[in-house]
Chains A and B, each alone.
Chain A
Amino acid sequence: MTHYWASLFGGLLIGLSASLLLLLNGRVAGASGIVGRLLLARASTNAAFVIGLLIGPLLFLAGFGHWPSVTITASLPMIAAAGLMVGFGSRMGSGCTSGHGVAGLARLSPRSFVAVLTFLSAGGATVTLMRIAGL
C-alpha cells in the first residue's frame, strides 16, 4: 500500500515541478525537449534543469538514507536499441512521458492525448510480446 502513496506523492511533485517551470519561466517541462535543446546548445536554463534532475536522486538519498530502486533487467544490446528508439521517437513525436504525458495532458492538448495513447499501447504491446517470447 505504501508504494501507492509514494507514487501519488511523487506524481504530485512532478506536477509541481511542471507548474513551477511554466509559471516562472513560461516553459514546458518536457525531458526530451529539454535535452534536445541542450544538444543544440540553446539556453543554459536547459542545462540547469538537467543538473536539477541529476540532483533529485541525491535529495532522495539524503531524505530516506538509501538510493531509489533502479532494477534494469534488459540486456545491453536491448538497452542500446531501446535508447536509440526512445531518443529518435521522442524527437519525431515532439515529446515524451513528461512533455506529452504530464504537461500536454494538463493543457488538454489533443496531440498529447494521441501521443500518450500511442506510446502506452506500444509500450504495453512490447512488454507483453517480450514476456511471451521469453526475453
Chain B
Amino acid sequence: MNLQTLRLLAALVSGGVFGFGLSLSGMLDPARVRGFLDVAGDWDPSLAFVLAGAVAVAMLGTLLSKRMKRPVLDQAFHLPPDTGIDRRLVLGSALFGIGWGMAGFCPGPALASLTLGLAPSFLFVAAMIAGMTLHDRCFAGVTRCIGSPS
C-alpha cells in the first residue's frame, strides 16, 4: 500500500471514530445541544463531559505530536497559522454560535446525521455549504471576490 492509500485509510478511520463518538456522546442530537446551551433555563450539563473528554485525549495526542519530527504518514504537521485574535475570529465565531443555538447543529454532527436520512439535516447541510461557499467566494478577501477562484 502506498502512502496516499494509508493516509486515506487513516482519514476514514478517524472520521468513523469521530462519527461514532458523536453518536454515542449525544452531540448528534440538536435537542440535547440546545439543552446544554440553555444555561439559564433547564440546563443539561452532560455535553460538557464530551468537551472535557475530547480535549483531554486530544491533549495527549498533541503532547505526543510535539515529540515527533513529523506525522507517521506525511512529511510535516499541517497546523493552522496563529494569526492572532482579530475581528474576523470573534465575529465569525459569534455568527457560528447564533446559528448553532438556533438549530442545535454544528458542522460535524450535521454531516453525520445525514446518515439517518432526516429532511432537516439535508436542509441544514445544504444551507451550511451555501454559507461556506458564500464566505470563501466573496468575503475571504476583496481580491478573491473580484478575481473569482477557478
Contact = CB atoms under 8 A, between A and B. Distances in A.
Contacts of A79: 103, 105, 120, 123-124, 127
Given A6-B24, A72-B103, A122 B93 contact: yes
- Interface residues of chain B: helix, strand, loop or mixed (majority): helix
A121 B90 CA distance: 11
A110 B85 contact: yes
Interface in A51-75: 51-60, 63, 67-74
A48 B12 contact: yes
A122 B108 contact: no
Contact of A11 (B52, B89, B115, B130): B52
Interface string B76-114: 111110111100111111111111111111111011111
Which interface class (under 10, 10 to 19, 20 to 34, 35 or more) fits A? 35 or more
Interface in B100-150: 100-108, 110-116, 118, 120-121, 123-136, 139-140, 149
B15 A56 contact: yes
Most chain A C-beta atoms within 10 Å of own C-beta, residue among B6, B126, B135: B135
A29 to B, nearest CB: 6
A41 B113 CA distance: 23
Given A46-B11, A84-B127, A92 B49 contact: no
B40 interface: yes
Contacts of A83: 99, 103, 105, 110, 123-128, 130-131
A12 B53 contact: yes
A25 B129 CA distance: 25
Nearest to A56: B19
Contacts of A125: 101
Interface in B1-44: 6-32, 34, 37-41
B106 A86 contact: yes
B135 A91 contact: yes
Contacts of B17: 13-14, 16-17, 20, 52, 56
Most chain B C-beta atoms within 10 Å of own C-beta, residue among A63, A101, A106: A106
Contacts of B10: 20-21, 24-25, 45
Contact of B19 (A11, A55, A78, A126): A55
A114 B86 CA distance: 10
Contact of A39 (B49, B84, B97, B129): B129
A22 B101 contact: no
Nearest to B38: A127
